Structure 1
C-alpha cells in the first residue's frame, strides 16, 4: 500500500496523501459488512470516524429484532468502534427517515404501487443527509459496506456491479449521482463472496463475524407490508371487488394493500371464469378499490414509462441516438438484466422498450440501466403507470 502511494501519490482510496492524513467517515449499520469496512480502513492507518443512524424508535411497534439501525445494531457498531479504537457517533435521523422514506412508502402502497423504500433510504438519507454530515466532519470521503464497485473511467468515477453477482446491490443504488459517487467509496465490491467478508471479520476479531444478515425492509416486521400500512394509516384496508380483466366480478377482498402485482396465492377465488386457469394479480386499482386478475400471459410487458431518471452515462441523457440508448435493464432486484432500448422523453423521463417481454412490471418499482456488455451501471428510474 505504501509502495502504491509513493508511486502514484494516491492512497488505496484514490485520494492524495498518506492514509493517516485521510479522514474517512464509515456508515456503520452494525452488521458485518460495514464493520469490516471500518476495520479494514482502520488497519490501513486511515483516520476513521464511524457514524450510525438511528432511523426509528427501537421500542416502537414497527421495529423488529435483526433489522438494520435497530437498538442491537447500534450497540454492535459502537462495540466495534470501541474495540478497534476509533470515534463513533450515533445520529438521530428518525424524523428525516419517517418523512423521506416511511411516509412515501405508505402513500405509494395505498395508491396501488409497489415501492422500494431501501432505494429511497440510500437516495434521501444515507447518500444525501449522511453524506452532508460526513463533509461537516471534514471527511475526505465516505465509505459504506455496499456490494458495488466504484471504478475510475475516462470521464470520471463509474458505478459497476459487484464482483459477486449474488451480493450485487446495484439495483438499490442506481440513484447515486455523479457528485455523490465522487465522494463515496465501496471497499467490499471487489470481494468474491460473503464468506470472504466474514473471514476478514474473524481476522480482525470482530464480534459480529457470524452475525446473520438483516432480512426484509428494516421497518417491516416479518415482511408484512399490509400490517405496517394499517399501523401508519388506520382504516386504510377498505374492502372491494376482485375483477377479471374483462370486468366480471369474481369475488371480494379485504383491502388492496394485501395484494401485489404478480401475486397468485391467497386470492381465494379458484381459477378464472372457465374454472381451470391459474389467476394472477395483473394490476391494482386503488381508487376503485379493485384487484384486477387474469392469466399469467397478461403479466407480460414490452414497454413502460419511467420518471425521476438518474443518468450515469458519459454522454448527455437526451443526446440518445434515434433508435434510443442500447441498454440492459433490471425491473426487479432478483432478476437478471434484459436487453432493451431506452428512449428519453425529457431530462428525467423515458420510455423503455424491451426486446423480450418481462412479467410483473409494476408501478413503484425501479428500472435500472446497465451497459449492454460489461458491468457498468448507467442509472435508472421509477416505473410509472
Structure 2
C-alpha cells in the first residue's frame, strides 16, 4: 500500500496536531476544513489551539514544506477523519452526520487499495455503516478493495502532541487487511504499542474508556454531596480512604466536562437504554452536581445580610474551563454554573480565568485575583488551575471550594 499522500479531514483539536506530527515525519499532508477562519489562521501561521510545542512545531521548515491546508479535498492514498461527532440530547442520539459528510466528500476520489481511518468518536457499528455507504455509492469498486479502520485517539488536552506519539493505540479494521494497512501509518510516529482488533471492538473500547472514567468521577461527586450533608470533610475522607492499598477514589468537582467523558457514555446509553443502568446513573449524578453547586451558592447568598436594599450580591468565580490548566470550555460544568448566575439581575459576577482569551469572552466579566477578592461577597473556586495554588483569601469572605484547591 502506498502512503505517499495523506488527507486529514477536520483540523481541530486532533486533526491539526496529527497533521503536524505526520508532516514532521516527512509525509505529504493535505488538511481539509470547511471553516474558512481555521484555514486563514493556518495560512497566517496562527494556531488558536493551546497545545504545548504545537505552534513551534507547526512553524518549523519541515512541517511547512509538507503540510498544505485548504477547503478542497486532495486525492490521496490515505484519508483520516477527525471531524466532530456530538451527541444530540434533544433526540438522544449520536450525530455522525459530519463523518458521513466527510465520506461523501472523498468517495469519488477513492481507488482500490486506499485507506480510510476514522479517529472521530463514533457509536458501535459506524465503521460498518461507512463501508456500506462506500460500496453502495461506488459499485465500480471490488468488494473489500478499500481498507477502512477505526483508530480512536487517547489524548489529554494540553498535552496532545506528546500523547499522540507516546500512547498505546487501538487499531480496529473492518478486516485484518485494513488493520494491517492502518498499522503502517501509525508506525510512522507512534512509540506506544499498536494493538490490532476489529472495528466494533475498537469503537466500543473508546466509549468504554471514557464511561469508566465518568462512573468513577460520579462516585466521587456523589460522595461529596453525602459528606456535605453529614458535615464531613470530603477531601480528608478521600485522602484517608485512599491509604487502603486497593482504593483510589478520585477528587470531586463541579460536574464533568470536555468533549469525551461528558459525551461518550451517551453513545452507549442511546443504543442500549434498558441495560446501561449504571452508566445512566453516573451521567445523572454528574449532571446533578452542577445543580447541587448552584444550590450551594444560593445558600451562601441567603446567609449574606446586605447593608442596603436592592444592592447586588457579588460572586467571584475562580476557573471556567472544564479541567485544570486547560483553555477548553467544551461541555464545561463550571461555565454552566457561571452562566446561570450571569442571568440573575440581583447578582453581579466576576471571573478569574487565566487560560482563555479575554477579548472573546467579554460577557464573562474577566478580572484579576486581587480585584475579585476585594469586590466579591462570595468566592467560588470551581477549577484548581496552577495559577491559583498560592491563593490567599480574606477570612471574612464566604468561600465555597468546589475543586478542593484549599485542601
TM-score w.r.t. length of structure 1: 0.26
Higher helix share: 2
Q: Which has the higher contact order (CA 8 A, sep 6+)?
A: 1
Larger Rg belongs to: 2
TM-score by length of 2: 0.25
